Each structure stands twice: as structure tokens, then as C-alpha cells.
Copies of this chain bind each other. A is one copy, B any other.
Amino acid sequence: MAVEEVLSDLKKKIEEKLPSGTTISSVEFEGPQLVVYTEEPKKFADNGNIVRNLAKALRTRIVVRPDPKVLMPPEESIDKILKTVPEESGVSNYHFDPDVGEVIIEAEKPGLVIGKHGETLREITKKIGWTPKVVRTPPIKSRTVQNIREFMRTNHKERKDILKSVGRKIHRGCTSKDEWVRVTSLGGAKEVGRSCFIISTPESRIMIDCGVNVGSDDNMTPYLYVPEAYPINQIDAVVLTHAHLDHQGLVPLLYKYGFEGPIYCTPPTRDLMALLQLDYIDVAAKEGKRPPYASADVREGLKHTIVLDYEEVTDIAPDIKLTFHNAGHILGSAVSHFHIGDGLHNVVVTGDFKYEKTRLFDAAVNRFPRVESVIMESTYGNSNATQPSLQEAEQNLQNIVNSTLKKDGIVLIPAFAVGRSQEVMIVLEDAIRKGIIPNVPVYLDGMIWEATAIHATYPEYLNNDLRKLIFQKGQNPFLSECFKPVDSNELRQKIIEEPHPCVILSTSGMMNAGPVIEYFKAFAENENNTLVFVGYQADGTLGRRIQKGWKEIPISTREGTHVVKMNMNVEVVDGFSGHSDRRQLMSYIQKMKPRPERVYTEHGDERSCIDLASSLHKKNKLETKALTNLETVRLV
């Protein structure tokens, strides 16, 4: 069936199902959803069940849009909106988009604009005709979030065309009589870095992640040149599990190569992705390397990004439905569930995940309507890769901070901008609030503050406890006064030149670049200070050299090489990992509901992937296999 037929078919079905007297003018696909245009948006708004029932009956996501002729002028509309929403909602900005009949309302408390079951939103629609969409005013000003929102507004016409074309491709219909499902590993199998997989069927090809191995020159990129990824536009969609560079760092390269398809990810993943990609280009340039793509390619990716919240079932290809679930790894990280064919097969791709509740996130989801195959990460898959508990890690960190501060020393913590930084921040804030450690300033330098602002923008993606704290008690730990962003060179100079007891969290996490180097040079020679590693230090990095116990450390800067005498204490705090440890990996599968038939391991060194696969096989009598780059396995 051609798309035009599908649409006129859908229109007929909708008209049949509508309460008598309600009319629609047309229907059109827009990305994965179906847009219903009507001159009577009020009638739809009157009855919240209409759309819900239609979506259920047609098994697709539906949006109702007013016909342009029934829209109230913007000025008047703002007035009406302000009169409709409670003042405490903190509405701060509007954007009217006549093409789609939408008004985007930025508010400090989006929930109050939405109302119970969307009541307030429907109220607004009835009054002004426009369809309101609500986004949160970032409680900490985030350059990234602001730029992306503005960029999307500026390009809304082009974006509308993109979404229409994506939507029509998704609904092109199935044609093959064959039934099979294959998974090809282009990167990230028996290794960490450059994660990239392709799930393909006779109808469609989905790429999952497209990472970069920042640490490697030879094996930096996935094998994107093989036929499975060629021609690039035969890929229907790219699905991103989360925003770490080893999972999305080369997505802009796809657009540079001419890719025109959509990216699916959660809203926080989109924002963190843009932040980290632009930083990646920046760092490469600073290191004198040629970055593989330009910022224009990053923007091209953004234009093609379609965000999905957790638990939204979405058609992304004629025969594939995608649902994201919380992965507990970093903000917006998603366990991705693919339903293929009409009940043919279900694959869960875990991405990086943490099967334990942490300070920031709930434990990764492992309950699904159906699941036959699982593709899972294996970072700590080795049988002896058990980590200390989070409680132990926190205790450990608190003790180190306390004993350093007692000596009037400075605690320097190198950390990645996204993930562990925020975890450590919450631990410190909690300890300071409860008086467990003294109330000293916690300086945040490098990209950490910007990443934290993005965390603050999406509290829905944090765990239950934090959500309650923020929404019900109005107490956002990220806004605590103990945190001091280092937002100028002057402030950094001041901290260095006038040392005082404090904690400094700074990028980069392995000390190969970033402001952490400045602090290190300034504080290394004082034996009262402490350097605390909370993350893995790869071979060849400065962090690793320090862990090995080097006492004289040459540091090259533009001014030449400088030898730093190493007198400060060095501590390693294990346990602050966003990855499941061995026990958690095992029980994630053991407790998965329903029980899967097959498990494929990836994202770990060779031994970890093989060890985990064989242990899972022995324990659970499952078919298991460690994936290999450039191999294709058949799921069906």
C-alpha cells in the first residue's frame, strides 16, 4: 500500500471513530507520529479520551493540530495562557509556530502548566486554538539547552519537512516475504569504545550507537565502510543508548557522509550529545588533531533528532517499534527495546547500564512485555570484577575529604563532565547538609557545571528520591550554595593563588587535558593536599602514571615541559561506577522478566565479554555468545 493510501485509510478510520459532529480536515505523518488537523481543536480538547482512544485503536502516536484559521493572535493568546495557568508555574517564555499550530511554553514548573492528566493544557487549547507544548525553564542557566531550543525554533520549517519525510518512510509498508533478523557488530564488540551495531530485517536497517574510541588512533572509528552500512541512507534510523562519546561521538560523521535519516534518543541524551560533540571537536583542535567532523555536522544531526521519553512505544521503521527504558547509567541513558515484525522477535539492547539504585538514578529496567534476545554491556563482566558498594565508596570519599580538610588541605577530584561528577556532587552536598563534612566550597570547573545544568533541566530523568526532593520539597541539590562554578579564568587564578580548604571537581577525568592540569600543577607539591580518583584511568594517561606512583611528573604545555614534584596524597575511590559490576550484570539477566532465550555480550575487553557470556550460559542455561566486530549473527 502506498503512503497516500495509508493516510486516506487512516483518515477514514479516524472519522469513523470520532464522536458524531466532530470533523477533521486532514492527516499527515510527522516523524513517528500521526498528525490530525482539525478546525475544531476545542472539541478534541473537551474530551481527553478521544485522542487516547484513537491512538490505542490505530496503534500509533497521535497529535491533534488546529487548522491555522482557528488560531487566536499570539498577543491575545499569551494573555489567555497567563490567565489559565497558576502563577507558581513560573512561565518565562513563549514561541508561537503557526506552521504546526503550536505554542511552546517555557515554565519553571511544567507540571503546573500541564495540569492533572493534561487538563490545563486542554483548557488552554480550548481558549486559544494553539496546541501548547511545555518545556522546563532550566533552573540553572544552560547554554546548551538554550542554544538547542533556539536552533530548533530557527529551523522549524526544515525540521517539519524532515519529520514529514521520516514519517512517510516509517509507514512505507512491508514488502518482503522473508522473515529474518540479524545483528552486525561494527564496533564495541570485545572492546570498549566505538560502539556501533546494526539490526537489520528484510525491511529495514537500524544503527544502534555510533561511538568513537577517543583513546585509539588505529581503531578510532567503527567499521562504517562495510556494505552493511552502505549506502548510508539505507539506514532507516540511528538509535542512541546514551550520550557518552563511545556511543555517539561519530554520529555527526554520518551526516557528513550524507545520511538524512533520524536519530532517536531521550531529550537529555540529545542535549548532552551536542555538548560532548562540540567539546570533542574543540579538544581535538586544541590537541592539533583534525576533528573528523565540523560543528555544522553536529547541527545537522540535531535537526534530525527525534526525542522519545522512557516507556513511549514508537514506530521507527515499517516493522520495528522502539521503547526506551531507564538504564541507570547517566542522565537519559536508555535500555532500548525493539519489537520486530508482528510479534516476530524482541531484542533488548542494554547500552551501558547500572542495575542498582544510585544517588542519581533508579536501577536499570529489566521487565519487558516480551524479550527473546538481549545484547548487553560487559564492562565488569570478568568473574573477579566485583566493585565495592556505593555506600563503601561514599564513606571512603567522606573520610578522605575530612582528613584532608583537617590538615587545611585541598581535595582535587578529576572527573568526567557527565555522570560521576554529578554523583559525587550529590554525595558531597548531602554530607555537607548533614554536617558530615565541613561546609567548604565545592568548585566545579571544566564542562561539569554545564553538564549539571542539563541534569537540573530534566529532573524527570533522576531517581524517585531526587524527584520527590525537587518536586515536592522544592529542594534541588544541584542548586545548593556549596557549589561554585569556576566560570572565569580570574576565579581559577584566585583559587590557585590563594589556596584554602576546598573540594575541586574538574575535567578531564583522566587528566590528559582540561583545567584539572592547572590545579594539579599548583597543588601537587603540598603534602597536605589529596588527589582523589573516582574513575578508571586508561593506560598512557597522566592519571595512570600518577596511580603507578611516579614521583616526578613531566607536564607539557605550550610554554614547554615542566616537571611537577609529586608530594600530595593519592587516593583511589572505587565503586562510583555507572556500570553494573559483575554481580549486577549476572542478576540483571537472572531476574529479567520474561526470561530471554539468548544473550550476546559486548562493551568490555575480550576476557570480560567471553567470561560473562560463558558464566551466563552456565548459570542460566541460556544460549550466549560474545559478539565479534565485523560478524553478523542471526536472531531469527
Beyond contacts A227-B229, A631-B632: 12 other A-B pairs, Cβ-Cβ < 8 A, are A177-B218, A178-B223, A180-B630, A182-B631, A200-B227, A202-B225, A227-B228, A227-B234, A228-B228, A230-B230, A630-B632, A631-B631
User: Residue A634 contacts which of B205, B228, B630 (CB distance < 8 angstroms)?
Assistant: B630
Q: How far is the CA of A229 from the CA of B227 in the complex (A)?
A: 8
Give me the interface of A with B, judged by CB distance under 8 Å: 177-178, 180, 182, 184, 200, 202, 205, 218, 223, 225-230, 234, 628-634
Contacts of A234 in B (CB 8 A): 227
Query: Whole-angstrom distance from the CB of A221 to the nearest CB of chain B?
Result: 11
Measured between beta carbons, the chain B residues less than 8 angstroms from A632 are 184, 630-632
Instruction: Please indicate the chain B residues that have their CB under 8 angstroms from the CB of A229 in the complex.
Output: 227
How far is the CB of A218 from the nearest CB of chain B, in Å? 7
**Chain B neighbourhood of A633, CB < 8 A:** 631
A-B contact pairs, 24 of them (CB 8 A): A177-B218, A178-B223, A180-B630, A182-B630, A182-B631, A200-B226, A200-B227, A202-B225, A205-B227, A227-B227, A227-B228, A227-B229, A227-B230, A227-B234, A228-B228, A230-B230, A628-B634, A629-B634, A630-B632, A630-B634, A631-B631, A631-B633, A631-B634, A632-B632
The 3 nearest A-B residue pairs measured at CB: A632-B632, A227-B227, A227-B228
Chain B residues contacting A182 (CB-CB under 8 Å) are 630-631
* A598 CB, min distance to chain B CBs, angstroms: 13
Nearest CB on B from A354, distance (A)? 31
Complex CA gap A218/B202 in Å reads: 15
Main secondary structure of the interface of A (DSSP, over half): loop
* CB neighbours of A634 from chain B (8 A): 628-631
Give CA–CA (A227, B228) in the complex, Å: 5
Residue ID in chain B nearest A632 by CB atoms = B632
Q: Write out the residue numbers on chain B whose beta carbons fall within 8 Å of the beta carbon of A218.
A: 177
Q: Taking the nearest CB of chain B, how far is it from the CB of A13, in angstroms? A: 33
A578 to chain B, nearest CB (A): 30
Please name the residue on chain B nearest to A182 by beta carbon.
B630
Distance (whole angstroms) from the CB of A602 to the closest CB of chain B:
14
Contacts of A184 in B (CB 8 A): 632
Which residues on the B side are within 8 Å of A628 (C-beta)?
Answer: 634
Q: Report the Cα distance A180→B234, complex, angstroms.
A: 24
**A202 contact set on B, CB distance < 8 A:** 225
Within the complex, the shortest CB–CB distance from A461 to chain B, in Å, comes to 36
**A177 to B, closest residue via Cβ:** B218
Q: Residues of B contacting A180 with CB < 8 Å?
A: 630
CB-nearest residue of chain B relative to A184?
Answer: B632
Smallest CB–CB gap between A213 and chain B, Å?
14
Distance, CA A630 to CA B200, complexed state (A): 11
Closest to A218 in B: B177
**A340–B180 CA distance with the chains assembled, in angstroms:** 31
**Chain B nearest Cβ from A254, distance in angstroms:** 16
With most chain B CB atoms within 10 A of its CB, the pick from A178, A229, A628, A630 is: A630
* Contact residues in B for A223 (Cβ distance below 8 Å): 178
Chain B residues with Cβ under 8 A from A227's Cβ?
200, 205, 227-230, 234
